[in-house]
């Protein structure tokens, strides 16, 4: 069976290094691996509206920011179809039929939805649209017959939900939909990159992100202010790696080449870690190294972004062409779904003839 990728992001802000190591970098590798017949990258603006209903302007503005981030990271419109979710009404239609296959209590048990409800203070009154977004996400995935969904581990519950919908649909209406597999990042540190303050989640509202479009001086300031081991007071003290954000970032970003280039006195990260835990290695030195590593990774991305920013009409055309192409695919799936459910009354004379026959008796 041919392999098809679908993944996406909510356009609620510019993308940051957490997105980069957690998914963007991987997507570009997958794109260039030649192993996938089709790749769809969705800007999930309709999903973003499920918790930004009162702020559509935020979503509207960030669609272009996210598209710029995609292109500057190396997503290539010749190989990957970039699309805007809300412009594909077939997805909404699919969601509506899938809703019949999911119970309220099943949605309430979804751990990602649970924690988001808490984070957004939705406990007292949860918007129905937000509550049902896992179903809409199942529509996103199945509309493109995706076999492979590369996302972070926070999306595991969404994939579970999607699989259940697929199984239920196929069992009730006949084999129609494809069951997708999640593809998690292979580097542990990339599963979830913490904020620069050491907090588990990197988020705009906490002000603890490093953005892909960030200028070098700001990156440096952020790296130098990063949370480390609070008990590592004097250089001679042994340092702790656990919960030490600087080392988590090094796990995610550094490669042996970086040591050769910026810190030849160590062969690799293991040696650096060993010295740090033994004592005698100061935080500032490690931070300076991390700064060099991150700068060298982000510089080409930032430069490409500046180029694309000079040609926004081009990015617009990429989005429009990608969305048109994706819409055709989704329309085909919707047609399959309606056929399986036998709600295709006007597609052929089948239903009419059946009814004539029935009433002629
Ligand atoms: N829920 C994802 C996020 O918050 C975005 C998303 C929407 C998505 N639809 C998707 C991811 C389909 C993978 C597949 O980042």
What CATH number has the domain spanning 4-192+312-356? 3.40.50.620
Pick the CATH number of 216-308 from 2.40.50.840, 1.10.10.10, 3.40.5.90, 1.10.240.10: 1.10.240.10
Q: What is the average per-residue pLDDT within 207-220?
A: 94
Take residue 10 and report the two structure tokens written for it: 């909510």
**Ligand 1 site, residue 31, Cβ cutoff 6 A:** no
Ligand 1 centroid from CA 264, angstroms: 41
**Ligand 1 site, residue 283, Cβ cutoff 6 A:** no
**Ligand 1 site, residue 44, Cβ cutoff 6 A:** yes
- Binned at pLDDT 50, 70 and 90, residue 21 comes out as confident
β-pair partners for 217: none
- Report the C-alpha gap between 87 and 113 in whole angstroms: 24
Ligand 1 centroid from CA 137, angstroms: 6
Q: For residue 235, count other CB atoms closer than 10 A to its CB.
A: 13
- Binned at pLDDT 50, 70 and 90, residue 55 comes out as very high
Instruction: Write down the pLDDT at residue 192.
Output: 77
Instruction: Write down the pLDDT at residue 191.
Output: 67
Residue of 10, 62, 163 to mutate, ligand 1, most atoms within 8 A of C-beta: 10
Please name the residue whose Cα sits nearest to atom 14 of ligand 1. 7
Q: What is the average per-residue pLDDT within 17-33?
A: 92
- Which residue, among 267, 256, 319, 262, has the nearest Cα to 285 in the 3D structure? 262
Q: Say yes or no to pLDDT of 143 above 90.
A: yes
Q: What is the average per-residue pLDDT within 86-105?
A: 97
- pLDDT digits 0-9 by tens, 145-175: 999 999 888 899 999 999 999 999 999 999 9
Take residue 146 and report the two structure tokens written for it: 């995706």
CA 148 to chain centre: 13
Q: Is 203 exposed, middle or buried (0-12, 13-18, 19+ CB in 10 A)?
A: middle
- Binned at pLDDT 50, 70 and 90, residue 125 comes out as confident
**Ligand 1 site, residue 194, Cβ cutoff 6 A:** no
Q: How many residues does the chain have?
A: 361
Domain segments of the chain as ranges: 4-192+312-356, 216-308
Instruction: Write down the pLDDT at residue 109.
Output: 92
């Amino acid at each position: 069976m041919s392999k098809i990728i679908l993944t996406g992001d909510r356009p609620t802000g510019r993308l940051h290094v957490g997105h980069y190591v957690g998914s963007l970098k991987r997507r570009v590798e997958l794109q260039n691996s030649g192993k996938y017949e089709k790749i769809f990258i969705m800007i999930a603006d309709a999903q973003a509206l499920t918790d930004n209903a009162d702020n559509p302007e935020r979503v509207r503005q960030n669609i272009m920011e996210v598209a710029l981030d995609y292109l500057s990271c190396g997503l290539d419109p010749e190989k990957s179809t970039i699309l805007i979710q809300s412009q594909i009404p077939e997805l909404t239609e699919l969601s509506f039929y899938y809703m019949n296959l999911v119970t309220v209590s099943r949605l309430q048990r979804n751990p990602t939805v649970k924690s988001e409800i808490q984070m957004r203070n939705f406990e007292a009154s949860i918007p129905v649209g937000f509550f049902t977004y896992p179903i809409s996400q199942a529509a996103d995935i199945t509309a493109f017959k995706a076999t492979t969904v590369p996302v972070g581990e926070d999306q595991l519950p969404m994939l579970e939900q999607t699989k259940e919908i697929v199984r239920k649909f196929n069992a009730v209406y006949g084999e129609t939909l494809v069951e997708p597999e999640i593809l998690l990042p292979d580097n542990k540190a990339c599963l979830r990159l913490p904020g620069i303050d050491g907090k588990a989640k990197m988020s705009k509202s906490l002000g603890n992100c490093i953005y892909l479009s960030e200028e070098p001086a700001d990156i440096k300031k952020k790296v130098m202010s990063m949370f480390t081991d609070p008990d590592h007071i004097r250089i001679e003290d042994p340092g702790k790696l656990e919960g030490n954000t600087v080392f988590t970032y090094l796990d995610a970003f550094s490669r042996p080449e970086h040591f050769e280039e910026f810190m030849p006195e160590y062969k690799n990260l293991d040696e650096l870690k060993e010295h740090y835990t033994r004592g005698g290695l100061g935080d500032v030195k490690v931070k300076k190294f991390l700064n060099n590593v991150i700068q060298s990774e982000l510089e080409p991305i930032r430069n490409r972004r500046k180029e694309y920013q000079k040609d926004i009409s081009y990015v617009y055309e990429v989005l429009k062409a990608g969305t048109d192409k994706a819409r055709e695919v989704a329309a085909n799936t919707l047609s399959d779904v309606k056929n399986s459910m036998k709600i295709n009354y006007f597609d052929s004379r089948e239903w009419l003839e059946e009814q004539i026959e029935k009433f002629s008796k």
